[in-house]
Amino acid sequence: MPLNAYLIVGALLFTIGAAGVLVRRNPLVMFMSIELMLNAVNLSFMAFAHFLDSVDGWMFVFLVLTVAAAEVVVGLAIIVAIFRTRREIDVDELNTLKG
The footprint of another protein on residues 52-71 (CB under 8 A) is 52-56, 58-59, 61-63, 65-71
* Residue 90 binding another protein, by CB under 8 A: yes
**CA pair distance 30, 2, nearest whole angstrom:** 32
Three-state SS at 89: coil
- Interface with another protein includes 86 (CB under 8 A)? no
Asked if 49 is part of the footprint of another protein (rule: CB under 8 A), the reply reads: yes
**Contact positions with another protein (CB under 8 A) in 17-46:** 17-20, 22-26, 28-29, 31-33, 35-36, 39, 42-43, 46
Is 98 an interacting residue with respect to another protein (CB under 8 A)?
no
Q: Decide whether 84 or 98 has the Cβ nearer to another protein.
A: 84
The answer to whether 76 contacts another protein (rule: CB under 8 A) is yes
What string of DSSP letters covers 8-71? Answer: HHHHHHHHHHHHHHHH---HHHHHHHHHHHHHHHHHHHHHHHHHTT-THHHHHHHHHHHHHHHH
